[in-house]
Amino acid sequence: PGISTLIAKGVYDAAFPLHDVSVSHEVLFEEWAKYSAFYKYQPIDLVRKYFGEKIGLYFAWLGVYTQLLIPASIVGIIVFGYGVATVDTNIPSLEMCDERLNFTMCPLCDGACDYWHLSTACGTARASHLFDNPATVFFAIFMSLWAVLFLEQWKRRQISLSFSWDLTGIEEDEEHPRPKYETILLEKRQRKRQQKKKKKKKKNELTWKDRLPGYFMNISSILFMFGLTFSAVFGVIVYRITISALMAMSPDPETKSNVRVTVTATAVIINLVVILILDEIYGAVALWLTELEIPKTETNFEERLILKAFLLKFMNAYAPIFYVAFFKGRFAGRPGSYVYVFNDYRMEECAPGGCLIELCIQLSIIMLGKQLIQNNIFEIGIPKLKKLIHALKEKETTQKEKDEERPPKQWNLDYALAPFEGLTPEYMEMIIQFGFVSLFVASFPLAPLFALLNNVIEIRLDARKFVTELRRPVTARAKDIGIWYNILSGMGKLSVIINAFVISFTSDFVPRLVYQYMYSQTGTMHGFIDHTLSFFNVSNFKPGTAPHSSDQGDITVCRYKDYREPPWSSDAYQFSKQYWSVLSARLAFVILFQNLVMFLSLMVAWVIPDVPKTIVEQLKREKKLLVDLFLQEEKEKFQLIQSLFVKPNSQSPTAGQFWTSLCPESLGSRLLGNNRFAGGVDF
């Protein structure tokens, strides 16, 4: 029972290495943790020396990621710039804004809403073009390859680091079981002993039977959490539907005109708040669930915790975005046959400019909001607050002791700091951000830029936290970033298919191509808007759903965005041939995009060698030296034996010096797999 067991049992309160308030701490603060050092490379070797390999690797990884965000941001800005530059020459948005074309659209709600002109949605059409243009397709391909490149680059960096930090030989040693595991095992053994020793084999392990309740609890809780996330998303949808219906019924014209903006903005903010709250809850739940599973070792514990926390937080952060990208507006029905929820409220549709602009708004607000609030409140605000409270408390108690006038001891100072709680939250934050940068990047090319700006601050923020606000962590060795690499690589793979679907189904890229090359009479985009709008005969409105009063005069036919047969066709309002041909083109695009990008990714991963050339050469040289040394040693041993037998009395003082060359320290430690003690993981 080491000190960790004693802490677990409450015998001790805490155990931590003291901060080394000397040169290295000072240098770290000056060169690394100051905001003014944001443009400098991190002193990774120093970080590793002070905090250990595990934390060193985290900061090295963060550095590589941030560095690679720079080219991605630049390309993203160029793509966005292309959208801005072409917005005035883009025919579809010009057509939407053209008042002469005068498309009369079907009302957006039952009864209370009037027919409206498409040209009033000019703004969103123009905004939509900023993010939905051919350059976006290129950018999506670029970012998928970027993700592969990032992983490859990190592999190389990791290998360089593990070489220069002497990690190449280390392997996971047999770990000690966690105190909790041991306690439960002990209980079980005692229980068994009391059962009159019926069975012979007393296993020294917990079996699946002991863990069954834990597993059961796990699965049901995770399903419950998923349900919670989905209900939160659904709740926000209901909020949006009801509020827009209510506001549309309001007599005030001011209110009416702002419906969409107000509803979208408030709904996204609600989403954001829900995400932030659930994020904290899910973190705690994942911890609790992992404890229930009683993993045997600390590594095991960490891995399970990470997987669970990632799954929950990923769902939480991305569920509303997935909804907007792939489901919103797909189940709204058509005029005369809308889909209703709770019998009264029509399902929501996308904005007239397309769903992509809504996805873009959703994505940017959640991403920025999450980063700003998490950075400012959770990482700066709350620690400051805690410190303040602590300081106030201290004041009372120290008031009495003040008279003694002793300078505070380092352990008292460090005890006042917050305990180090693992790197999981730090990694998690970055991984979720990586998702914003890769998964839906087709809809928001500025995401890498915002991620870059955030990370430049984040590095210094984390550094400052580690140097000044946390107790010095017990150093731990690690030869890689572990399961996070797998998660990153999985997200990279997922991003290919998601971006393919975003481009082909959420954006209007494919319908535009199909129109231009299959239906357009002139081979240009003129007439595209007309082509995408179907006709509806207002006499087919169900009773009570037609507008109560109309300013638009005598309307017989209104338009809506869909590919359906016109009222005068034999199978009126069925999906038209155009619908199916556009759908085919969309699906074909997904196949083409996915396979092209996967092929290019394989190429990129194949072209970049995992081990940098310099390291390969160095390893070769080292190996050669090692072999030479060994041969030398064998030879000298042999000579020594000979000398011992031939002239046993001629020992000279040089023998001592001789032995030193036989067991050079560096050789010994390298051969032994570098198992040197690295900072006392277990006291």
DSSP state of 469: I
Candidate segments 19-27, 343-351, 372-380, 636-644, binder of a copy of itself by CB under 8 A? 636-644
Q: Which of 496, 517, 523 is nearest to 585 (CA)?
A: 517
Q: How far is the CB of 656 from a copy of itself (least distance, A)?
A: 7
Helix axes 613-646, 654-662, angle to 10 degrees: 140
Among 659, 664, 666, 680, binds a copy of itself (CB under 8 A): 659
With 0-12 / 13-18 / 19 or more C-beta atoms within 10 angstroms meaning exposed / middle / buried, residue 59 is buried
Q: What minimum distance in Å lies between the beta carbon of 601 and a copy of itself?
A: 12
Considering only residues 138 to 197 of the shown chain, the ones binding a copy of itself according to CB under 8 A are 171, 174
Q: In the bound complex, what is the minimum distance in angstroms from residue 16's beta carbon to a copy of itself?
A: 31
Does the footprint of a copy of itself cover residue 656 (CB under 8 A)? yes
By beta-carbon proximity to a copy of itself, the closer residue of 173 and 554 is 173
Neighbouring residues of 96: CB distance < 8 A, sequence distance ≥ 6: 118, 119, 121, 122, 125, 352, 353, 529
Virtual CA dihedral for 508, 509, 512, 517, nearest 10 degrees? -150
Question: Does position 620 bind a copy of itself by CB under 8 A?
Answer: yes
Neighbour tally for 631: CB within 10 Å: 10
Binding window for a copy of itself (CB under 8 A); candidates: 4-12, 244-252, 533-541, 657-665: 657-665
- Contact stretch for a copy of itself (CB under 8 A) within 227-235, 457-465, 524-532, 581-589: 581-589
Note whether 218 and 289 are within 8 A (CB): yes
Residue type present at position 229: T
CA nearest to 564, candidates 545, 524, 537: 537
651 contributes a contact to a copy of itself by CB under 8 A: yes
Does 208 bind a copy of itself (CB under 8 A)? Our answer is no
Count of residues interacting with a copy of itself (CB under 8 A)? 38
625 binds a copy of itself, rule: CB under 8 A: no
Contact with a copy of itself (CB under 8 A) among 347, 413, 456, 497: 497
Radius of gyration of the CA atoms of the chain, in A: 33
Rule CB under 8 A: choose which of 186, 219, 249, 588 binds a copy of itself.
Answer: 588
Report long-range pairs for 179-185 (Cβ below 8 Å, ≥24 apart).
179/1, 179/4, 179/5, 179/8, 179/9, 180/8, 180/291, 180/294, 181/206, 181/294, 181/295, 181/296, 181/297, 182/5, 183/8, 184/210, 184/294
Asked if 603 is part of the footprint of a copy of itself (rule: CB under 8 A), the reply reads no
For position 607 contacting a copy of itself by CB under 8 A, the verdict is no
Q: How far is the CB of 75 from a copy of itself (least distance, A)?
A: 27
Q: Pick from 384, 409, 637, 676: which binds a copy of itself (CB under 8 A)?
A: 637
Select from 577, 646, 654, 657 the one that contacts a copy of itself (CB under 8 A). Answer: 577
Residue 673 sits in the site that holds a copy of itself (CB under 8 A): yes
Residues with Cβ within 8 Å of residue 536, at least 6 apart in sequence: 106, 334, 335, 336, 557, 558, 559, 560, 567, 573
Query: Is 671 one of the binding residues for a copy of itself (CB under 8 A)?
Result: yes
Residue entry with tokens 């010096």: 657
What letter would DSSP give residue 561? E
CB 510, min distance to a copy of itself, A = 12
- Specify the residue, 262 or 618, whose C-beta has the smaller distance to a copy of itself: 618
Q: Binder to a copy of itself among 11, 542, 655, 683 (CB under 8 A)?
A: 655
The rounded distance, in Å, linking the Cα atoms of 479 and 422 is: 16
Checking DSSP bridges between strand 116-117 and strand 333-334, what pairing results, if any? unpaired
Q: Which is nearer to a copy of itself, 456 or 497 (CB)?
A: 497
Q: Which is nearer to a copy of itself, 258 or 651 (CB)?
A: 651
DSSP, collapsed to helix, strand or coil, labels residue 345 as: strand
Which of 241, 590, 597, 615 is in the footprint of a copy of itself by CB under 8 A? 590
Query: Which residues in this chain contact a copy of itself in the complex, by CB under 8 A?
Result: 171, 174, 497, 575-577, 580-581, 583-584, 587-588, 590-591, 594-595, 620, 623, 627, 630, 634, 637, 641, 644-645, 648-649, 651, 655-656, 659, 662-663, 668, 671-673, 675
